[in-house]
Amino acid sequence: MLLTKIMVAVDGSEPSLKAVTFASQLAKQNSSKLIMLNVALLPAFASAKTIESLRTDLSKRSSELLETARSAARGASVDAETRMVETNRSVVQTIIEVSNHEKPDLLVVGSRGMTPGRLMLGSIAAGVANLAQCSVLVVR
């Protein structure tokens, strides 16, 4: 399978950073375009002031996180595009919507996100694997 475009979801967890490294290596090997995505989840029912404060904090965190991920890609000699998307709905659905728009050949996610525990595949990874229209690689 020819991988011309790879998208990786990044949330700052150890597995997602491993996913960035893996996706970067795959992108280099296949001369693929690499897109790094971070989804910021805003509460659906909060005051406008609270939303604006959270938006500022999450935007800063997302920028820092995506810059760290981009640095990892540069370490593999890959130039990556970054995307930060806000949602007040579902992180899984947002990843799927961006994936459907970008149409990557492969979507890479970490096995677990920022929530603790190691017994099961993370809910984001499982949801993405179940709903994606492209191949999904889950990195441990």
Quick: pLDDT tens for 84-108: 999 999 999 999 999 999 999 999 9
Reduced to 3 states, what is the DSSP secondary structure of residue 140? coil
Q: How far apart are CA 6 and CA 34, in angstroms?
A: 5
Domains and CATH numbers, the chain: 5-139 (3.40.50.620)
Task: Write the pLDDT tens digit of every residue in 1-25.
Answer: 799 999 999 999 999 999 999 999 9
Q: How far apart are CA 88 and CA 110, in angstroms?
A: 22
The percent helix, strand, coil of the chain (3-state, each to 5) is: 45, 25, 30
Quote the tokens at residue 37: 């995505």
Task: Write the pLDDT tens digit of every residue in 102-134.
Answer: 999 999 999 977 544 444 458 999 999 999 999
CB 29: neighbour CB atoms within 10 A?
11
Amino acid (one-letter) located at 98? V
Q: What is the mean predicted confidence (pLDDT) over 49-53?
A: 95
